Structure 1
């Protein structure tokens, strides 16, 4: 430990950690235990369990110490290098504090000045050193303040390159007070207690406080004048309040009792503490028993434990329960419902298009949205029900006890309606919807893992059917993997086998009833699978990349059909074609569209491309460039399923959108649902203020049509007018548009007025 260039210090690092980092054997392990002992210049003394003594030779140990000098100097273990007479050659900071001197004062300090040489144990130490062996004995050490105290020394002999035959000494304090006699005991006790970092008091056999340290005052609020002479009270949590008396009555000298208690501060606040009570051996002239009570405030530890417990069971972002908590609660609830003959329900909820928020508005806004959703979910369920965040934008709701599985549908519907209400985040209006899958215990499974899997499958089924809905798990969903494989295999040949067909559903002017345009909708009729829903095969086409070829084919077919209708006199019509996210991200999309328009001869003014809110908000910069290029080409853009995603006013203002389509899930509730009325009216008014035309999807009743007309919604689309039709049936409808709409006393259209195809 001689003079050398300073090295970077790593204050506060445990020596074992640092040694590991440098790929060297650790010198000390578990430097942790606080000993309630006096005599240390450093208030808190630590014991090092020197495991490496058993593995390394003494010289190698000291070489390691020299190599990691900056670590050794800051070790809480007291380390000394002495010659064979006991004179200190070098010491670390902990050793200096232990003896109450500076390190400079220790160098050259003779053995008789720090070792109580009259003690035969010191001679045993010297003998052990001279025998070139090892010593692990108890000795009395002398502190600079004048008192002696008991300690254990470990000594190992080796050849030092500068000092010859020397010994490395590790000092460990014993859990006893200073060696003293007579009337000096009280004063020495105060000195000893003052060197302990934890709260410490000296009490007599009567349990009254005789001395205390400053840490006791800091922790409890009682100063020396208030505490000395008073009984020390410890609450062990049992009905017997006088815990201290019980302990000291049965504690033999040199023995220790440890335990966790509750103390009370001067201001009345209770706090947990870990207590060590040590019985002292009476001095030669002091026959009365004395006890050292050392305690550590556990408030921070308990708070940390509570935090760890919280993190184990709750989501830090939303404050909702997590998967672990759901599992525990479900197990407890399972036993209760079995006893009562009731049911549990798991609702697996996934937000629709949430990725668009993070991509366009940023993760901070996405987190805010999740927190708002969490609050709404809490408000939509009962007090006994549990809402958990599964991860990302997935949530799980445990309905604790329901009479029938159908009760879960009521809750799911309430959740969907709650989520429909627009949110304002960072001055932007955001609309949310979710897809929910439901599974019930004991009907659908006997264990939670399977229930979750089943609810997850049902949720994906809900997504395929369209956003903003719930679906119950059904056993046939287990065959979904095989079904999806069949779809994937057959879809690869669908174009080649001419199994794909384009149907058309009209847009109708709400005021005049005139057909203003048509939307191209893809249908797949397979010999083996029958009529396959677009909700089933479009996601597969998107995943496999087949959507690029299929989408291009649909675009060409739609443009050809509209050009044919123009030539037959219906030249006021436009055609809307849906673009998937994968199609829209093609770098040559605009060139492809221009080529199709040129090939079919269709004027670009009569083509409308529909994209979803998710597509709009992903990669906003690239999206804006593409939309401007389409605008320059003369093609209109419609925002489809508006209200089911996360678009906002600022995006509608920013992007060149011509049409906005209100999602069917909002139109369904008109006029019965006040929330749907408000949302739809708001969307229409908002779009009109921005000069965007509005088309309402899913219009089925005359009442819905009347409300939309009242709010100045320009167009409607839905079964009130027509279901999707093949090209020949569409032309018949155009020739007989005066039949639209036809209503009966229920306000619904009677479809026997014109030919239709069953879906």
Structure 2
């Protein structure tokens, strides 16, 4: 870690420690008021008794006169409950000191509907009546928010307070008696904590509103809803809401306090769902959240019409479900690596504790005190503070995520051209000599029809890891991103092209050798769903020039990549791959090849003038159901695009030689068999040697084997193909130009190549008798071939009229269904015998 950021971390920790100390000291002072009630600070003795009235019909006189039905115990033993009943309390205050005492009775429950305090003298005569409660009218804001009465006790005397509590909601009402100074301390403490709470929540709401207008994310509006619900709820529970809202509105909030509870629970779950982005996942947890949100919305509306003590019990039951669902949502995100939400997770700790303390205090499980009374308020304060940090962390994460997406590809997660451009700018400013280097997975575009998006991405990642490992061994290749963990040097430019930068001063020849060495170390095979995909690569490079921009630099790199494709397999002409061609079919095709489940069928080739069978074309077939109906040309294309073509060609060549042996044994020693070669077969190492070894293996004469090459193979690899044709001819094998008329070759190919035969594509033969243009083309091709000393084979003959026409035009050989479809060797031998 750098020294400067570490120094700032120390400063930040010091500031945090100071703030925590201030908060602790301040909170310690606020937590003391209930410790100093009058019985602890003056010689005032209390006697307490009470009576619960389920009938709600008891009068003051009956309560006072029937002492046997009163329970003579402290008020903290009263069985407060969520029921429709009245509570009568009798408090005897005896001042044994020599001084009169000015007292304040604080009734710590601002949500009481009706609270009546009867003051009796030492003779039991009614002296005064005070009416409190949020259903009373014309009280001061002070008495609404802090229900209390003041009273004086003369020296060496006593008085009685008879208290009637009539409410439909939370009935528990702690009663504390204070001296004047202690009561003022209480008010200061309450005012301070109320002010802090309201101030923090309002600032948090404004902060989230600013974030919403800046980012336009509705999660901030939901959190504002949570903050407002918390203000309303705590304003009712603690009484300060009368200073925030008009009295009539606050009385309405108090009356429907359960609605506020449902509101805060609703926004809590809604925020949890949106903040953790479950609305993007649409999983079962999201549906569970929606279901609970709908339930709480319905119950919240129903609470307007249900008695409070019943709706409160329903809410406490729903609260359990709320915590279960929220914990499920949070746990799942943490388990899936959602670490950026750490502040949000931490914020739940005080919230859970505070929310648990409040009902426990109201039900008497936790002892009442100023601290426990305000525990939920403090918990919300902590939660809001931590949530502000969580929201800021979320903004930071979204910014980093946006930057990540701007500099990385979506599928492979590798660096993209943006980081390459940044490196280019740095190198150009420093005027540092450098070379852009590219490596491409050849024919990657062909895999779009075979591999799905995920499989293609995994393939690139696999190659990139191997390439990154090789580049890490050489200091000349710079890092494109300052990441201490990964040190990435590679950018993914898409379509199977990976880019990196060399800054070493070296000649093009040296760089070429280094890149070729790196290319050879890359994986040649990639297993995917049981299929062994064969890989090949091409390289390109270009120097950084001071007068060029990034786009030109990149364009020059692509041009050099195109020019060096001879280092690997060539690019075949674009063809359309049927939708059914996928990796599953490729896997089955590869297994069939290895298990020898493919077959060679023979279609005869006829001498048109004599009618004699001079040979046959060996055609690949996959006779196993359900694959026998698949177009064989599509299978050949699939083999080319998955790297199977070389293995397949050698297999066909071997099978053709086996069939030639069978033909020789049957007496057809002059019969020749044609085998098709693909442009991809140039990748076969020592092809001529392998062909010769196959002939020797089966003791077959080279003159009995013919090889057919397509025009597209000649165009893409002219120099190599000329050398190949010459070597095959020297071996004694005839080479045929196949599918003439479907490619784009020039007349120069007839001069450059040592062909024996020209084979006119069947597309010109099918409708030859009726197609005048095709007649001209076929006749011209025959005459041109003959003038160059080549024989002509016409494939696709299906009737006698076409045969007669081709004879007239001078074609030498014919092939097509008119003579026979392609059949297995045993049937073909019978067919020859019949002829």
Q: Pick the structure with more strand per residue.
A: 1
- Structure of larger gyration radius: 2
Instruction: Report the TM-score, using the length of structure 2 for normalisation.
Output: 0.31
Q: TM-score, normalised by structure 1?
A: 0.34
- Flag the structure with higher helix content: 2
